Structures are given as structure tokens and as C-alpha cells.
Structure 1
Amino acid sequence: MERHLLMQLLADDNDDVSAADLAALRGGATHFVWDWTVPAEQSAWGYATRLRYLRRKDIEARGLDRAAQLLGRHDQPVRYGQITAADRTWVFTLFLTENGGALVACAGVRQAGE
């Protein structure tokens, strides 16, 4: 997915994590979007589990709880994307509609040692 299209999807979302994703892209972050999709309910379960793990390890995360809730209500497959901040302090996961035309949710995790 081209950077400007991803930036538009993030700009259209009214969420703090989307704003952080957008700022990272503007700051030179790398990004990619996978071609494959995953059932949204599988993603919701996986990211709810990941959030519990991150909390136990006291790793800062943004938006994982909201992402799990939104994915749990989304009844179509989702496409994953990832944005890695230029300074590598944050990695953001994006969940897009199957065709990549809309943002379903996004979340970020602070990277260890940063």
C-alpha cells in the first residue's frame, strides 16, 4: 500500500493511536501491508491475549484493548499492516478491511530497550 493512501486512512480516523501512527509515518517510519487476510474474530482473540501478556510484563501498549473490541465486532476478514517508527521505539499494527480500503483498528507497542 502506498504511504499516502495509508496516511489518508489514518487521518480519517479520530483516535489517539491513529494520530501516533500518522505522526510516525510523517517522521519517516517504515510500513508495509500484507496481502493475506485473517478472520477478525481470530485477531480479536489473539490481540486480547497479547494485551494480557504485555500488561504482565509491564510493556507499554496503546490501543490494544480498543483494537480487540473493534475486531470482535467486525464480521469480515482483516488485512494486517505494520508501521515501525524511524527511531524504532514503537511498532504499530494496523487492521484494515479485506480490500485495504478502510481502517478497522490500530494498536502500538513500545519496543523493549527503548
Structure 2
Amino acid sequence: MGVTGVERERLERLLVGGDEASVAALAALRCGGPYMVWDGATSAQSLALVYGRRLRLTRRRGAQTTNLERTVQLLSLHQQPVRLGQIRAADGSCTFMLFLTEDGSRLIACTSVRRTHV
């Protein structure tokens, strides 16, 4: 799975007007945070299982997440393959995971995990 040449401006358009995690991801992107969108797609159902486990783990550890529960719900409902993307805050304090339609034209969900040690 390689990294695609998705433009920063295109990601900005996908993140505008979204939930709390999307708004924060957009701010991180606009502040120069590094980003990537991987080539290829993955089953939304398998991602729902993986991120469901992450949700339980982050709750046990007390990690600060945004929109992770909703992301798991949205992935569970999505019937098509999903492309993954990632944005990191420029200071490394937070990582945002983006879940896009297979063609990259629409944002399905966005979640973030705040790092406790930067």
C-alpha cells in the first residue's frame, strides 16, 4: 500500500464543516501538519472491528480521543471499501485518522488520539 499524491487543498475541502475531530484535523493541516493518504482500500467492516478494539483500549488507558465511537459506528454502517489517511499535528501532539470513500471524494469519518508524551 503506497502513499498517494492527494493535495492538501483537496483534503481541506473534505474536512470543512465536519465534526469536532474534522475541524481539529483541518486546523492541524492548515498549520502545516504532515499528512498522507494511502493507496488502495480496506473493508469498512474490518476497520470497524480494529477501531472498535482501539476504542476499548483507549478507554481502559484513559487516552483522549475525539469522535472515535462515532467513527466505529460510521464504519460499521459503510458498505464500500475505505481509503485511509492521516494528519499529524505539527507539534506531534495529536494524530488524526481519516476514513475516505474508495475514490477519495468524500470523508466518511475522522477521529483523533492525543499523545500524552510529545
State whether structure 2 residue 15 is matched by structure 1 residue 10. yes
Amino acid at match of 1:104: I
User: Any residues of structure 2 matched to 1:85-104 within 5 Å, and which?
Assistant: 85-104=89-108
Amino acid at match of 2:7: E
Amino acid at match of 1:6: L
- Unaligned 5+ residue runs, structure 2? 1-5
Amino acid at match of 1:84: R
Equivalent residue of 1:47, what SS? helix
State whether structure 2 residue 91 is matched by structure 1 residue 83. no
- Give the Cα separation in 1 of the matches to 2:39 and 2:111: 19
Moved over 3 A (4+): none
Aligned to 1:40: 44
Amino acid at match of 2:57: Y
Relative to its length, the structure with more strand (as a share) is 1
- Give the Cα separation in 2 of the matches to 1:89 and 1:38: 27
State whether structure 2 residue 21 is matched by structure 1 residue 25. no
Residue correspondences, number: 113
Instruction: With the length of structure 1 as denominator, give the TM-score of the two structures.
Output: 0.96
- Unaligned 5+ residue runs, structure 1? none
Q: Let me know the Cα RMSD of the aligned residues.
A: 0.8
- Give the Cα separation in 2 of the matches to 1:83 and 1:112: 17
* Fraction of identical pairs, as percent: 47
- Give the Cα separation in 1 of the matches to 2:49 and 2:67: 15
